[in-house]
């Protein structure tokens, strides 16, 4: 197992390096520069380019950039947002809050999704199933920013239960609305997936045999049904993290959450190359880690997948 | 006084609701099972064998319904004799008292009938713990090890902690049998227990089932499409075709004195091991569509012996002996005298002549 994990970690690092290269390359094609100030003259702009080393050839710039990352963990300095500050000093303090809200949303979404999925799968084609399926379809098809706007209008503005924007003074309380907005899609996907899986598992031969043993229906579902259905649900956790990340871009903006999603949007708007690369790099790293975690989790739930013994 | 049968199915009719019509799968069948005997129900795919036995345990799919019929089951609980109609007592009653506890079932495919995420030991223990047959987990483990020994699995202490994918097909079927025996049931339904296994394992499992019956006295309903498989095992045989029982009798009567053309067809199609170049006959055609069941004898369309009346009216059960009944107009006093195919007759004669003690085993083909 350890060997398997270290192999995976190695390939993850290789993947991340390739990602950095692609990001760096793509940014060359972005329209505009970090110095798109109308007050700057052409001569000043050339001076700025020279100052930040942007006039060097592509490969030379990439070489320096990569060397700084690998040897010093230095992702460069901000060119536009907070001029001349180290990018990691801007990004890292904001990382925690984004991860926290993301995890909250993942936890809330999957646990609600499992509950709904089990209820609707176990009561296939009844009115309970119809209602949960309706909610799930709604959750999948309505984008998270719509939920964000609706929730902040009703709960924040109209009824004043939660604050409209994120506040440092009450980090959990004011993160509830963004969490719910983000979790809707996760909840809906988990529900739909688990429902389908559970229905299939419950109609399998081995469930028939368990029923033939005289085991109570509720125990059949909990002991055998859910566990087998969850195996395939775990696989969608990876893709779901991606939707959480993209969702966070907008949701953080709506609620004014000082997270990296919000920062990325600003970075893109101002052509702040180094900020963009570092945040995109973090997203990639999170996604790769999530996939690794899913694969390990997979082995824990499904004994057939366990690598060697002691998995 | 003669003992009442432990299980008595009367006038059972089952149909399945499909998108494009109603499938009349079981069309009025009756049979009984005596204590400690083995009844083989034989017929080709789709003849309704499995549905019949699944309905006894209330395990047919949601779109299926028992329309008419009863299934009386007699058992003892706390020293009292109880007689219950399994088709009317409700699923809760079945789950609490009957399933696994008094009537257990073995499915066809051991590769799909075990939960892949649960250790086999726990799967065996599950039934006996839920039915409160054992007081503690420790006792359950001890009993599970005994069961695994009974079904011929070595290193049982190790096996209980293994998952199904770590066992071979034959071993899995042994585990399924152990699960069935966990609560010492009165009736064991074996639904094609050897069909999915290769031939050498097949005979081992057959031997095992016979052996278990000798040791425990459990009554067995053995479902198969292969008359050869049950020749050694069955006390009585019921031959099913298109949702009806067409011939039923003691095993010796079915194997040596078959009367229904369909039974002839089934027997002739078993390859013999005599080594001579004899003809293997097959039954032409396919079974009828039961969404619109044919009028009269459903087998008439495939039979060389069909008469005009076969297309008009379904034959009643004609009695051949106390135990032997046949649903064929050929047995009507007015019917022309017809003999079984000469190939089959010759084969039966040669077996009789040899006077082998192991009677029907000639038909097992092994």
Of B96, B109, B126, the CB nearest to A213: B126
Domain boundaries, chain B: 7-234, 246-364
The answer to whether A209 contacts B98, with C-beta atoms less than 8 Å apart, is: no
Confidence of residue B362 (pLDDT cuts 50, 70, 90): low
Judged by CB atoms closer than 8 Å, whether chains meet at B127 and A208 is answered as no
State whether residue A185 is helix, strand or coil.
Answer: helix
User: How many pairs of residues across A and B have Cβ atoms under 8 Å apart?
Assistant: 82
DSSP string, B4-27: PPSEEEEEEEEEEEETTEEEEEEE
Cβ pair A213:B127 closer than 8 A? yes
Distance between CA atoms of B209 and B177, rounded to whole angstroms?
8
Asked if B117 and A303 come within 8 Å (Cβ–Cβ), the reply is yes
Element housing B84 (H / E): strand B80-85
* Residues A252 and A114 occupy one common structural domain: yes
How confident is the model over A90-99, as a mean pLDDT?
Answer: 92
User: What integer pLDDT is reported at residue A307 of this predicted model?
Assistant: 53
Give the Å distances, CA to CA, from A122 to A110, A193, A205, B115, B149.
17, 13, 16, 18, 37
For residue A305, being part of any structural domain is answered with no
Q: Is A26 among the domain residues? A: yes
DSSP annotation string for A142-183? S-HHHHHHHHIIIIIIIS-SS-SS--TTSTTGGGHHHHHHHH
Task: Give the separation between CA B357 and CA B127, rounded to whole angstroms.
Answer: 40
Residues A56 and A107 both lie in one domain: no
Nearest in space to A95 (alpha carbons), one of A260, A249, A245:
A260
Q: What are phi and psi of B244, to 5 degrees?
A: -135, 155
Instruction: Let me know whether A93 and A218 are in one domain.
Output: yes
Both tokens of residue A22? Answer: 């692609």
Distance between CA atoms of residues B239 and A257, nearest Å: 75
- d(C-alpha A78, C-alpha A86), whole Å: 6
Give Cβ neighbours of residue B136 (< 8 Å, ≥ 6 apart). none
Distance from CA of A134 to the nearest CA of B (A): 24
Closest chain A CA to residue B165: A304
Is A129 part of a structural domain of the chain? yes
Q: How many domains does chain A have?
A: 2
Domain co-membership, A235 together with A99: yes
Nearest residue of B to residue A208 by CA position? B59
Domain covering B246-364: architecture: 3-Layer(aba) Sandwich (3.40)
Host domain of residue A60: 2-77
CA B274 centroid distance within chain: 27
Residues A72 and A93 in one domain: no
Q: Are residues A72 and A95 in the same domain?
A: no
> In whole angstroms, what is the distance from residue A306 CA to residue A300 CA?
7
> For position A157, which CATH number holds?
1.10.3720.10
Domain assignment of residue A293, yes or no: no
> Chain A interface, mutation test: which of B59, B90, B95, B105, most A Cβ atoms within 10 Å?
B95
**Radius of gyration, CA atoms only, chain B:** 21
Q: Quick check: B366 pLDDT over 50?
A: no
Confidence of residue A98 (pLDDT cuts 50, 70, 90): very high
User: What pLDDT does B361 receive?
Assistant: 52
On whether residue A292 sits in a domain, the answer given is no
Q: Does one domain contain both A73 and A39?
A: yes
Let me know whether A42 and A103 are in one domain: no
Contact across the interface for A208 and B176, Cβ inside 8 Å:
no
Q: What is the DSSP string of A196-221?
A: HHHHHHHTSHHHHHHHHTT--HHHII
Note whether residue A168 is domain-resident: yes
Instruction: Give the mean pLDDT of B166-192.
Output: 94
CA end-to-end distance (rounded Å), chain B: 40
Same fold, B7-234 and B246-364: yes
Of the three residues A77, A105, A125, the one that is the final residue of a domain is A77
The alpha-carbon gap from B181 to the nearest alpha carbon of chain A, in Å, equals 10
ipTM value, please give it. Answer: 0.85
Q: Which residue has the tokens 């079927």?
A: B173
CB contact under 8 A, A227 and B176: no
Q: How many CA atoms lie within 13 A of B195 on its CB side?
A: 17
Answer with the residue of higher pLDDT: A58 or A30.
A58
Contacts of A223 in chain B (CB under 8 A): 118, 126
User: Could you give the C-alpha distances from B352 to A304, B255, B256, B346, B357, in angstroms and in order?
Assistant: 52, 11, 8, 10, 10
Task: Tell me: do A34 and A132 sit in the same domain.
Answer: no
Distance CA B106, CA B59 (A): 13
Q: Is residue A203 part of a domain?
A: yes
What is the residue-wise DSSP string for A31-74? Answer: SS-TT--TT--HHHHHHHHHHTTTTS-HHHHHHHHHHHHHHH--
Q: Answer whether A204 sits within 8 Å of B112, measured CB to CB.
A: yes
Residues A35 and A124 in one domain: no
Cβ(B232)–Cβ(B364) below 8 Å: yes
pLDDT in tens, B234-264: 999 999 999 999 999 999 999 999 999 999 9
The A-side interface with B (CB below 8 A) comprises: 203-217, 219, 223-224, 227-228, 231, 301-304
The answer to whether residue B357 scores a pLDDT higher than 60 is no
Decide which of A32, A49, A77 is a domain's last residue: A77
**pLDDT per residue as tens digits for the range B274-318:** 656 666 777 888 888 888 888 888 888 888 888 888 888 889 999
- Give the model's pLDDT for residue B1: 45
Same domain, A237 and A136: yes
Q: Report yes or no on A98 lying in a domain.
A: yes
**Residue of A126, A198, A205, A209 for testing the chain B interface, max B β-carbons within 10 Å:** A209
Between B366 and A32, the more confident residue is A32
- pLDDT of B119 reads 94
User: Per CATH, is B7-234 categorized as 3.40.50.300?
Assistant: yes
**How far does chain A reach from its first CA to its final CA, in angstroms?**
6
Q: B168, B110 in Cβ contact below 8 A?
A: no
- Report the alpha-carbon distance of residue B13 to residue B30 in Å, rounded: 10
On whether both A99 and A56 belong to a single domain, the answer is: no
**Nearest chain A CA: its distance from B114 CA (Å):** 5
Q: What is the pLDDT of residues B19-55, one digit of tens each?
A: 888 999 999 999 999 999 999 999 888 888 889 989 9
């Amino acid at each position: 197992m350890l060997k398997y994990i270290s192999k995976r970690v190695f390939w993850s690092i290789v993947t991340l390096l390739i990602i950095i290269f692609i990001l760096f390359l793509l940014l060359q094609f972005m329209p505009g520069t970090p110095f798109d100030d109308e007050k700057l003259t052409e001569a000043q702009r050339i001076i700025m380019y020279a100052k930040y080393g942007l006039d060097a050839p592509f490969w030379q710039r990439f070489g320096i950039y990569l060397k700084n990352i690998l040897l010093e963990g230095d992702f460069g300095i901000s060119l536009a947002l907070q001029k001349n500050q180290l990018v990691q000093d801007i990004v890292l303090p904001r990382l925690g809050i984004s991860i926290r809200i993301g995890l909250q949303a993942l936890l809330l979404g999957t646990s609600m999704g499992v509950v709904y999925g089990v209820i609707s799968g176990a009561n296939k084609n009844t009115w309970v199933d119809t209602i949960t399926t309706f909610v799930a379809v709604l959750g999948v098809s309505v984008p998270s920013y719509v939920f964000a706007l609706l929730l902040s209008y009703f709960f924040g503005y109209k009824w004043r239960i939660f604050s409209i924007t994120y506040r440092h003074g009450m980090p959990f309380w004011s993160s509830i609305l963004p969490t719910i907005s983000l979790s809707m899609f996760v909840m809906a996907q988990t529900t739909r997936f688990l429902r389908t899986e559970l229905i299939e598992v419950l109609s399998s031969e081995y469930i028939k045999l368990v029923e033939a043993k005289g085991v109570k229906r509720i125990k059949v579902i909990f002991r055998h049904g859910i566990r087998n259905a969850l195996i395939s649900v775990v696989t969608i956790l990876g893709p779901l993290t991606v939707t959480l990340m993209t969702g966070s871009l907008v949701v953080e903006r709506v609620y004014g959450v000082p997270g990296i999603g919000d920062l990325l949007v600003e970075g893109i708007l101002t052509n702040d190359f180094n900020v963009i690369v570092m945040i995109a790099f973090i997203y990639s790293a999170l996604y790769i880690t999530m996939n690794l975690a899913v694969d390990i989790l997979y082995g824990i739930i499904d004994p057939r997948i366990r690598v060697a013994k002691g998995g | 006084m003669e003992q009442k049968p432990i299980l008595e199915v009367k006038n059972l009719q089952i149909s399945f609701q499909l998108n494009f019509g109603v499938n009349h799968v079981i069309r009025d069948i009756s049979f009984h099972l005596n204590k400690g005997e083995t009844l083989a129900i034989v017929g080709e795919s789709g003849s309704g064998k499995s549905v019949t036995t699944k309905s006894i345990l209330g395990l047919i799919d949601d779109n299926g319904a028992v329309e008419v019929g009863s299934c009386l089951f007699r058992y003892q609980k706390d020293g009292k004799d109880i007689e219950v109609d399994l088709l009317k007592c409700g699923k809760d009653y079945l789950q609490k008292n009957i399933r696994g506890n008094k009537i257990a079932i073995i499915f066809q495919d051991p590769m799909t009938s075990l939960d892949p995420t649960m250790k086999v030991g726990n799967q065996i223990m599950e039934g006996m713990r839920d039915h409160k047959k054992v007081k503690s987990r420790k006792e359950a483990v001890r009993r599970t090890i005994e069961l695994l020994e009974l079904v011929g699995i070595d290193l049982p202490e190790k096996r209980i902690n293994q998952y199904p994918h770590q066992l071979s097909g034959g071993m899995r079927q042994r585990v399924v049998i152990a699960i069935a025996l966990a609560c010492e049931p009165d009736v064991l339904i074996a639904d094609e227990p050897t069909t999915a296994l290769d031939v050498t394992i097949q005979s081992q499992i057959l031997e095992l089932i016979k052996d278990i019956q000798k040791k425990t006295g459990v009554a067995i309903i053995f479902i198969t499409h292969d008359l050869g498989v049950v020749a050694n095992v069955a006390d009585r045989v019921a031959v099913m075709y298109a949702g009806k029982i067409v011939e039923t009798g003691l095993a010796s009567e079915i194997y040596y004195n078959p009367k229904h053309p369909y039974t002839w067809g089934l027997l002739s199609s078993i390859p013999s091991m005599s080594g001579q170049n004899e003809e293997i006959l097959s039954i032409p055609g396919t079974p009828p569509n039961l969404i619109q069941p044919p009028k009269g004898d459903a087998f008439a369309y495939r039979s060389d012996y069909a008469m005009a009346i076969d297309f008009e009216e379904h034959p009643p059960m004609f009695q051949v002996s106390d135990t032997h009944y046949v649903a064929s107009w050929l047995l009507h006093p007015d019917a022309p005298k017809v003999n079984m195919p000469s190939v089959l007759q010759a084969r039966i004669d040669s077996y009789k002549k040899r006077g082998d003690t192991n009677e029907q085993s000639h038909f097992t083909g092994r």
